[in-house]
Structure 1
Amino acid sequence: MLKICVDVDKCAGLGMCESWAPDRFEVQSDAKVHVLAENIDESQRDAVQGAIDNCPTGALSIE
């Protein structure tokens, strides 16, 4: 199982991740992204990888 990681110090709350994978990410009132479900399987990897690749601050990763 893969795990989504967020560096909240880098996150600018722009919401690119939320647009790529809305079932996994949500920008909340604190202007930071919150991971709705941190564990993913291979079927969800493309959407999450799109969010990671398009994060302008590089705050997201998978481990």
Structure 2
Amino acid sequence: MRIVLDRARCTGIGICEALAPTVFEVDDNGELVVLSADVPEDAQNEVTEAVEGCPTMALGLRL
């Protein structure tokens, strides 16, 4: 799986970072940083929750 980020929609709330901190990080400027575009096998559940929990629908997954 690969993470797809729509930067125009992302507001940097940080829900994704809270759910999957090894994959997402909101930097000091409030910008989302995807630490690993390819979802690590051991983080698939957390990343899926983060994608589904994004209130702005800025995140997606591509197989």
TM-score, normalising length: structure 2: 0.88
Distance apart, 1:11 and its partner CA:
0.2
Q: Which runs of 5+ in 2 are unaligned?
A: none
Distance apart, 1:41 and its partner CA:
4.2
Structure 2 residue aligned with 1:33 = 32
* Identity value in percent: 35
| Map 1:1-63 → 2, pairs under 5 A | 2-63=1-62
Instruction: Give per-residue Cα distances to partners, 1:1-59, cap 9 Å, x unaligned.
Output: x1111100000000000000000001113322110011124432110011011111000
| Number of residue-to-residue matches in the alignment | 62
* Structure 1 runs, 4 residues or longer, greater than 4 Å off: none
TM-score, normalising length: structure 1: 0.88
